[in-house]
Amino acid sequence: MSVGKDKSVKPGAMRLALLIGSTREGRFADKVVRWAKDGIGRHPAFDLDVIDPRGFALPAHFPSGVHEGLEKIQRRLELADAILVVTPEYNHSFPAALKQVIDVTGEAWQAKPAAFISYGGVSGGLRAVEQLRLVLAELHTVTLRKVVSFMNAWELFDEQEGLLEPLRAERSLKQQLDQLSWWARVLRLGRAQWPYLSVS
């Protein structure tokens, strides 16, 4: 499902970067991402590029110069027409590793749409999403109203079977991707016609 840098597996498709928010050992994120990949695979609008920050040896400190891994993430985000963040909730917010990626790759988010799939306990990760909206507003990102959220996520997914009752979430993801593709198309045209840098 994931595409290489320039390959398109669906005719006319735009590029969707799915950014994994958790780098935690034993993370739950992989179950949610596996489910999301299936749904995105069925959607005609997007080719998928899964960006897992774990694979880029994130630095312990905020780099003062070039960091190879973060530069690679930046390039992948730059190529994206839309970004889908899959995030858990940590202490009513989102993981520090995700903040590090966002802080260093800021320009790649400019005048692009971003959507969220969240998971956690009783709040379903929605407090992490609200915090992300504040941060991404600073980067001139258009965040979608619609969130796909999993409350008490560990009760909803099975190791082998995946999401146990998928219908409602699949419908929700489809609607989110429809809306994301609308914004992605409009903003891609907009960026090409009127470079956003001239007003940012």
Ligand X SMILES: Cc1cc2nc3c(=O)[nH]c(=O)nc-3n(C[C@H](O)[C@H](O)[C@H](O)COP(=O)(O)O)c2cc1C
What distance in Å separates the CA atoms of residue 142 and residue 144, rounded to the nearest whole number?
Answer: 7
- Residue 90 is a binding residue for ligand X (CB under 6 A): yes
What distance in Å separates the CA atoms of residue 50 and residue 16, rounded to the nearest whole number?
Answer: 8
Q: Contact at 8 Å (CB) between 47 and 8?
A: yes
What distance in Å separates the CA atoms of residue 55 and residue 34, rounded to the nearest whole number?
Answer: 17
Window 4 to 23, contacts with ligand X (CB under 6 A): 22
Q: From the list 55, 59, 121, 190, which residue makes contact with ligand X (rule: CB under 6 A)?
A: 121
Q: From the list 2, 10, 14, 27, which residue makes contact with ligand X (rule: CB under 6 A)?
A: 27
Q: Summarize the chain as % helix, strand, coil (round to 5).
A: 45, 20, 35
Q: From the list 39, 53, 88, 113, which residue makes contact with ligand X (rule: CB under 6 A)?
A: 88
Taking the least distance from each CB to ligand X, the nearer of 128 and 184 is 128
Tokens of 73: 């993430």
- Residue 29 is a binding residue for ligand X (CB under 6 A): yes
Tokens of 72: 């690679």
- Residue 28 is a binding residue for ligand X (CB under 6 A): yes
- The size of the chain, in residues, is 200
Q: How far is the CB of 90 from ligand X (least distance, A)?
A: 4
- Residue 92 is a binding residue for ligand X (CB under 6 A): yes
Q: Which residues bind ligand X (CB under 6 A)?
A: 22, 24, 27-29, 88-92, 120-121, 123
